[in-house]
Structure 1
Amino acid sequence: MSMIEVAVCGAHMQGLPLNPQLQALQATFVRATHTSADYKLYHLAGFHPPRPGLIRVNTGGSAIALEVWQLPLENYGKLVASVPAPLGFGTLTLQDGQQVAGFLCEAYASATATDISVFGGWRAYLQAQSQGQQ
């Protein structure tokens, strides 16, 4: 069976609300890692459950924590088709230089979103929110 690795950086991560979608597509966890330091992470407005948007930038980027999952290639299209705009899929560069398919966000969405890159990842942001930090 052909497999593809997919990077997730938000609600699809282990233990978070959309992770069952990955599991239903027979995805298996591969590893936790970070992007290269070329990305910004935004808390997107209007999503339930809350979701981040990852945008590649030319300057001022950070390494963002994410997870790499592996799923059957035949299920990849189902995952991509289930993703609402402004989210989509593209090629992400990881901290080790490897490139994998993964969630990205259209840049226009950053105009109404909160830049949370300083937290270094969605989990850290959620933890700070639960502790009342902004």
Structure 2
Amino acid sequence: MSEKESAAVLLAVNGTLMRGLKLSPNMAAAGATFLKEAVTEPVYRLWTINDEHPAMIRVTDGSGVGVAVEVWEVPAAGLAGILLNEPPGLSIGKVNLDDGSTVLGVIGEPALVEGQREITEFGGWRAYIAATGDA
């Protein structure tokens, strides 16, 4: 295996890819390793998409919060499989964590959240599903 094939990237996930949730098997299939729970810089807002998964959007108007995420180490070769199995409207972009680091992360397209319920006040998907009883 070449060095490029064995390279790994850090990926912050904020929804159903998190441990024990609906799409967490996709992380295992990609050979990902859980590293830590973390929080983003307070520059994001969060929506629920039909109560199936969240969408995190970066904002620049000062209204963002720190969102709870999990940081995983993902083999570079496995990253494409994770992205291909994400719901439409979600993509991989750069996410700023509250420790000043920048990692890859799952983010939503602004059009995806139109007409959806904003759940920023919960601070994360797990807190939202715990409060509402949704999974």
TM-score (norm: length of structure 1): 0.91
Q: Alpha-carbon deviation of 1:81? A: 2.2
Number of equivalences: 128
**One-letter code aligned to 2:26:** Q
Contact 1:44 1:112 in 2 (8 A): no
Between the aligned partners of 2:130 and 2:82, the Cα distance in structure 1 is 27
Percent of counterpart pairs with the same letter?
34
Q: Gaps spanning 5+ residues in structure 2: where?
A: 1-5
**One-letter code aligned to 1:115:** E
**One-letter code aligned to 2:60:** N
Residues 51-78 of structure 1, C-alpha deviations (whole Å, 9 max, x = no match): 0000000120000000001111111122
Runs (4+) of structure 1 exceeding 4 A deviation are none
Where does residue 109 of structure 1 map in the other structure?
Answer: 112
Where does residue 120 of structure 1 map in the other structure?
Answer: 123
Where does residue 72 of structure 1 map in the other structure?
Answer: 75
Where does residue 58 of structure 1 map in the other structure?
Answer: 60
Residues 80-128 of structure 1, C-alpha deviations (whole Å, 9 max, x = no match): 2222321111000001111111100001122121110100100000000
Contact 2:26 2:85 in 1 (8 A): no
Residues 31-58 of structure 1, C-alpha deviations (whole Å, 9 max, x = no match): 000110000010012x7xx100000001
Where does residue 15 of structure 1 map in the other structure?
Answer: 20
SS of 1:112's equivalent?
Answer: coil
RMSD between aligned residues:
1.4
TM-score (norm: length of structure 2): 0.90
Contact 1:90 1:102 in 2 (8 A): yes
